[in-house]
Structure 1
Amino acid sequence: MNRAFHIGGLVWFAAVLAAGTFGWDPLICAGIGAAVFAALLLKGRLPLWTYSAAAAFCACMLSLAVYHALAVEPAARWEGTRRVRAVVTDRADYGSYARLSLTADREGMPAGLSGARIQVSAPAALAVAPGDVVEWELKLEVPEAERERLWADGFRFRGTVSGAPAVVGERPGGLRVALAEYRAGIRQNILHELPNEYGELLAALVTGRTEGLSPELRYDYSRAGISHLLAVSGLHLSVFVALIDALLAACFLSRRQRGIAEIAAVLFLMGLTGFSHSVVRAGVMLIVCRAALLCGRDSDTLNSLGFAVVLMLLCNPYAAFSTGLQLSYLATMGIAAASGPMAGWFSKRLCGVGGFTLEETRPKAYALLSMLSATLCAQLFTAPVLCWRFGQISLVSPLVNLIVAPAVPFALAGGLLCGFAGFLPVLAVPARFFGLVGGVSVRAITETAQWWSRFRFAALPLRSDWLVLWMGACLLGGAVLAALRVKPAVRRQAAALSALALTAGAFSQSLAWGNTMEIALPENGSAVAVAYHGQGALIGVPDSLYEARNLRAFFRDHGVERIDLLAARREADLRSNPALLLLGEVPADAAFGLDGTYGFSAELFGCAGLAAEGRDAETLRLEAGNLRIVKEFTQSPQEADLLVNAKNELVAAPGVAVKTNDRYFGSVVVTLRIP
């Protein structure tokens, strides 16, 4: 318990999450933390972790107050429609639209906007690339529901497009632009050798850019419990550093020289992947460990983890709201703190000897148990976040991770070497060989994930907020009881209380909600999907293959095998590629275009009604759960309790409150209670 940086990092992380979620005043909280720290100093002779926790809480709140004063508040007054001159630093394409990262010009822009990063969604056909200097009229805003996530990624605003930008400058040689271009070059080198879905996946594994992956692939990886491979983290850095170390060792460099070169290589890979939170966390930890070895000192994994988190949150406190950092932090903490004891427990129960004895007598068996323990600990510690963000927990994850473990290093090494060798024409043949190795490995991993994900028991859907909170409370309580080494009787009592809380929560949930219907509104889409007890309906058709795949995942997750009714805006829309892709997997019993009817009225699922009036109708009404929900294909005002406009945005009438969730299927999912 006396790991000062570990305890400090844990408290710092939790304090930022609590302050952002509940709206605490950081200055008041800093004063409270300072008072507690002073009281602890006056009392004296207390465990080191108590001082570390109090100091971390006080420092966290002070840093949060400073961050607000220097970064957030100066930018807040510039919300609204502005003419912005900025550099395009990154671009990610998602089918029909592209997501751009802009950095406002430091010259000629006001202090609140100078250097601010802006996230913009624009049509995919827009001809701008990283490095272009643009002048653009944007509506700058910070949506309340997305504020923490936006700030976590380092953006000050989200920009809504008002017309096309004017490209006014050449490509500057900034660091972000150079890294983005180099990252795109590595991706192109891999796709040149593997111009198929496996090449796209291999490029995503190496660069961390997953926008080109299909929702089906993400779905299969998530159900199989190996979606962590798609986020660049400590595993990727370890393989990269091992390759660098082997290359430098072949050049007969000393251990100290290799250590310095490896630190530089880690910094390079951090930049190459866009300084994502998970890779920065892993990179800082690895640098600390390498620096300790260079100085002849041992490093502690949990203290290194705490130091890395504190350093990251000092730079941007809202990084704590990044899902990638949360998963990376919890998984690393679980492996470092619990995998050793769990491996020892397995050794004693399965082999009849302790972990140290088994490691000496049967090292291969102990290595297998260690891998299993690491997977279980990582999944256990990350379970609440996985359920909160992805809505399910994989039951086959430990087994699948053991099966694919031998192929993962070959996939990562092959992808990295193929991407880098592709820049040199003289290495064209080795690049092709490395691409082949990576492609074969990725195919083996993917086919394994797809095979296991087909089983109904592969993953357990868990999306109830109260259930996620219950899991988090059980995990926290179990960790505290394990740290205090309480008696078995106390553990049994705690388990009984948790089971009682679970039963009470499930009963309360059934009373409060009972029968429910879910409606999915894809982001930047045009269709509306409805699911109710294995039955489905679709209003409109998807605009893009990306939207079609998200809708297919929504229907598949809700047990919908056939769509009862599909009402498209135009008959020709039913023959579009996105519609054919969706209907090929989820056929429709009745499908028609509104331009071929003179209005219609239909009963859905025995508890809802769908209707349109007049020829070439542009509006459909869905009556469900005592609410009138209107889908409008044009930007016309309509009388409704809930209006879904032409941009697929949900607008609620005054006084109407519904439960929404934007964490799954690339959509806003509305839950309605059906009497």
Structure 2
Amino acid sequence: MTGVVLPRQNIDRIRAGLSRMCVGVGAWLWGQHARFVLWLPVLLAAGMALYFTLSWEPSIIWAWGAATVVAGCVTARLVWGTGLPVRIGCGVLGAFAAGVLVAWVQAHHMPPFPDLPRRAVHLTGRVLDADAQVLRDGTPSWRVRLADVRFLDGINTGMPPLRRVLVLRLRPDDVCVPAPGDTLLARVMLSPPAFPALPGGYDAQRRAWFDGRAGNARALDDVTCRHGHAPSGLSARIASLRQTMAVRIRAALPGVRGDIAATVLAGADGAIAPGVRDAFADAGLAHLLAVAGLHLAIVMGLVMVGVRMGLALSERAALFWPCRQIAAVCALLAGGGYVIITGAHLPAQRSLFMAGLAVVALMVGRRVVSMRALAVAMTALLCLNAENVAELPLQMSAAAVMALIAGFDALRPYLSAWEHDVAWWRRIGGRLAHPLLASVLAGSACIPVGMAHFGTVQPWFVLANLLAVPLMSVWIMPWGLLSFVLMPPGWEKLALVPMGWGIGLVAWLARQVACLPVARIGVPAIGNGGLALFFAGLCWLCLWGGRGRLLGAVPVALALLSPWWGAQPVVMVSSDARMAGVVSGHVLLTGPGGHPDPFILREWQRVTGLEASVLPDDAGQGPLSCRDGTCRVRERDGDILLLLSARGPGRRSCRDARMVVNLSGQGGCPGVMVIGRFDMWRNGAYALYPDRAGGIRALSDRQERGARPWVMRPGGVGVPDLPMAQAE
């Protein structure tokens, strides 16, 4: 068979067409060259996300390779930096490799998890901070972070102190009021960071690894507090001040209003009752209970207005002083103090960093709020703590602020035209459109993130925010700032009582909106791939220029639909083999027993988006049948046997069985794959999925996470806390 030879003219036409296409693409990309720097945090985050999704740990050789790639890209950019392919190629590859390298370095910089005793043990430790908590049943309790923890029993006597922090929960009836700097002596039960409730679920061990936590402790008796030592160090003094402020706020405002005020003004974590927090979440007002950009903007805006009005009272200052710049610096200092007092959480840090850039821009006459400021802030936060790329606060903050800046940039000409229109109703509409657009843009951008982390959607968030956010801005936070001024002489109640009136109104609004029909819709959670697809589309919509940015709506829509495209698990088993879940129709059935673990149940409901019930003791012949402690889940190419009791399956039960999940111990069916207690102890939680061929695919947590620094060995075993060997 002879080949076909194209005429010379056709070859020249093809070459000319390709050349014109390359020129057009090059011109299109050169039109975006001013926006290339905005993609730096996106590529850094992509590299960090890749590192955390690996199922194996890169060795130091891979780290050196990533460092070499970064150095090579920087060198090539400096030497041959004028060409478009070099600029784009080196920027993309170098930033991506830098993200992987930063995440690897931070992960290997942390100390290993210690091997905690599995029995009741006496310990002593120094209090870093203490927060008053409200448990699920409504009882108050203290949660304390302990440093320099030493165990006082048996083989642990004389061992060096833990290099990680231990979180201790006191008994509800304990009379001890711990304060930063105190020394606690307690008898406790210890538990390492929890394994994921299912493969691909929330990884509490990774969060604890980067937070520096060793695990959790529960006091068995009343603890002994040794007071009298003044807090040493700036962080301890700030923690003591926060605790004192929270106590005085609750004394002036008892009940729910005081808890919310202490959260907003002193950063009291976990002080709000779960029922109240759930009502705020269902109404789309959960951001009001977390100190973030909204609160910081209100504080800085009020201080800036107050300082500028005060300077305007002086004729000399108004004529000769840079009043605007002075007011901006004072507002930034006040905002920094507010962030420190409230605990310096990640969203507040991000907002303060952007506020600092805005003040610098104002000082030099540049645009105050821009995508460049957001890019610089996100780059700094990612480099300080790479693990936050997988956490809710950073994702929510990035999505909301990016949508706000891009949305108002696109709509600014229309809003400005309405605000300066001759018709009065258009001028009023233009000003009223700002809070409405802010709620719609920020809330809509956060919907997919909420679907990924909570498995819920709150359709009424716009209505609730339109009423609650102005009330927070013009009434609640101004009285809260005034309470700071009145606290030294002890007159804070004069400001906290009016603040409580506004808080009560917002709490009432949250309850009313949460009671509306479909206020909270449970949906299957968006997976990691869908979340990455959403952020890719959102970044394209917000960071790209021209009409081509509208193409970003396609991956956003695909990400929103992704939970219904992927396969859902039909059977889930916890890592401790004490709880199993079966998806039957539109209900998640759990067992054995009627009291499932609340954390595991919430995680399973988040992934499936289903209401929960209890496995029946005796069910008929349907997709799910249970009898005598054995449940049969019928699938197209074989059944799944779920053994909940110690009896074991009979010969009749093994008929048509393709897989056996045994929670009770020994036993199974001849020639059938068995997942037993030892498999769960060794491999963690399991999830069974139907595959495309009609069979059953079993996925374990160990397969999903692999061998990573933060993945604990079977049973939660860590590194023994032994002293260093004596030098010869």
Taking structure 2 as the reference length, the TM-score comes to 0.65
Contact 1:395 1:458 in 2 (8 A): yes
For 1:13, the equivalent position in structure 2 comes to 45
For 2:270, the equivalent position in structure 1 comes to 211
Match of 1:445 among 499, 502, 506: 506
Post-superposition Cα deviations, 1:120-144, rounded to whole Å, max 9, x if no partner, equal 4554455461321246788685666
Counterpart residue type for residue 328 of structure 1: S
For 1:615, the equivalent position in structure 2 comes to none
For 2:436, the equivalent position in structure 1 comes to 372
Deviates more, 1:394-403 or 1:279-288: 394-403
Match of 1:101 among 135, 145, 148: 145
For 2:214, the equivalent position in structure 1 comes to 157
Q: Shift of the alpha carbon at 1:530?
A: 9.1
For 1:31, the equivalent position in structure 2 comes to 68
Contact 1:231 1:324 in 2 (8 A): no
Q: Shift of the alpha carbon at 1:280?
A: 0.7
Deviates more, 1:288-297 or 1:173-182: 288-297
Q: Shift of the alpha carbon at 1:627?
A: 1.5
Counterpart residue type for residue 178 of structure 1: R
- The aligned runs of 1:519-598 (5 Å cut-off) are 533=586, 558=610
Counterpart residue type for residue 420 of structure 2: E
CA distance in 1, matches of 2:171, 2:630: 30
Distance 1:61 1:505, change over 3 A: closer
Distance 1:234 1:504, change over 3 A: closer
CA distance in 2, matches of 1:240, 1:417: 11
Distance 1:650 1:463, change over 3 A: farther
Post-superposition Cα deviations, 1:644-668, rounded to whole Å, max 9, x if no partner, equal 9xxxx999366785339xxxxxxxx
Counterpart residue type for residue 518 of structure 2: F
For 2:165, the equivalent position in structure 1 comes to 117
Counterpart residue type for residue 178 of structure 2: A
CA distance in 1, matches of 2:145, 2:112: 19
Contact 1:16 1:60 in 2 (8 A): yes
For 1:455, the equivalent position in structure 2 comes to 516
Contact 2:179 2:243 in 1 (8 A): no
Match of 1:386 among 438, 443, 450: 450
Distance 1:146 1:284, change over 3 A: same
CA distance in 2, matches of 1:385, 1:249: 39
For 1:598, the equivalent position in structure 2 comes to none
Distance 1:31 1:443, change over 3 A: same
Contact 2:46 2:99 in 1 (8 A): no
Contact 1:29 1:58 in 2 (8 A): yes
Q: Shift of the alpha carbon at 1:237?
A: 1.0
SS in 2 for 1:458: coil
Contact 2:572 2:686 in 1 (8 A): no
Counterpart residue type for residue 533 of structure 2: A
Distance 1:415 1:640, change over 3 A: farther
Q: Does 1:323 align with 2:408?
A: no
Distance 1:337 1:284, change over 3 A: same
CA distance in 2, matches of 1:125, 1:528: 34
Contact 2:400 2:441 in 1 (8 A): yes
- The aligned runs of 1:326-345 (5 Å cut-off) are 326-342=395-411
CA distance in 2, matches of 1:282, 1:627: 50
Q: Shift of the alpha carbon at 1:236?
A: 0.7
Q: Does 1:148 align with 2:206?
A: yes
CA distance in 2, matches of 1:435, 1:308: 34
For 1:261, the equivalent position in structure 2 comes to 330
CA distance in 2, matches of 1:40, 1:104: 47
Contact 1:642 1:652 in 2 (8 A): no
Counterpart residue type for residue 212 of structure 2: F
Counterpart residue type for residue 31 of structure 1: T
Match of 1:172 among 230, 243, 266: 230
For 1:307, the equivalent position in structure 2 comes to 376
Contact 1:223 1:458 in 2 (8 A): yes
* Structure 2, unaligned runs of 5 or more: 1-31, 151-156, 196-202, 312-316, 634-640, 647-659, 666-676, 689-699, 702-728
For 1:414, the equivalent position in structure 2 comes to 479
Q: Shift of the alpha carbon at 1:202?
A: 2.9
Counterpart residue type for residue 147 of structure 2: T
Q: Does 1:198 align with 2:237?
A: no
Q: Shift of the alpha carbon at 1:281?
A: 0.8
Q: Does 1:641 align with 2:673?
A: no
Counterpart residue type for residue 133 of structure 1: T
* Structure 1, unaligned runs of 5 or more: 345-353, 567-600, 612-620, 632-638, 661-669
SS in 2 for 1:100: strand
For 2:178, the equivalent position in structure 1 comes to 129
- The aligned runs of 1:648-659 (5 Å cut-off) are 652=680, 658-659=686-687
For 2:536, the equivalent position in structure 1 comes to 476
Q: Shift of the alpha carbon at 1:60?
A: 3.9
Contact 2:579 2:592 in 1 (8 A): yes
CA distance in 1, matches of 2:431, 2:266: 29
Counterpart residue type for residue 358 of structure 2: C
Counterpart residue type for residue 444 of structure 2: L
Counterpart residue type for residue 320 of structure 1: V
SS in 2 for 1:87: strand
Distance 1:186 1:659, change over 3 A: farther
> Over aligned residue pairs, what C-alpha RMSD do you find?
4.9
Q: Shift of the alpha carbon at 1:528?
A: 9.9
Contact 1:101 1:118 in 2 (8 A): yes
Aligned identity (percent) is 18
Counterpart residue type for residue 417 of structure 1: L
Q: Shift of the alpha carbon at 1:3?
A: 5.0
Q: Shift of the alpha carbon at 1:278?
A: 0.6
Post-superposition Cα deviations, 1:429-471, rounded to whole Å, max 9, x if no partner, equal xx33x333322322332232322222343343233344x7436
Contact 1:133 1:170 in 2 (8 A): no
Q: Shift of the alpha carbon at 1:392?
A: 1.2
Distance 1:141 1:223, change over 3 A: closer
Q: Does 1:44 align with 2:81?
A: yes
Taking structure 1 as the reference length, the TM-score comes to 0.70
CA distance in 2, matches of 1:246, 1:157: 45
SS in 1 for 2:420: helix
Contact 2:406 2:542 in 1 (8 A): no
Contact 2:39 2:543 in 1 (8 A): no
Match of 2:248 among 168, 185, 189: 189
For 2:497, the equivalent position in structure 1 comes to 436
Aligned length: 574
Counterpart residue type for residue 103 of structure 1: A
Counterpart residue type for residue 397 of structure 2: S
CA distance in 2, matches of 1:454, 1:115: 47
Distance 1:484 1:183, change over 3 A: closer
CA distance in 2, matches of 1:249, 1:110: 60
Distance 1:312 1:508, change over 3 A: closer
Contact 1:78 1:113 in 2 (8 A): no
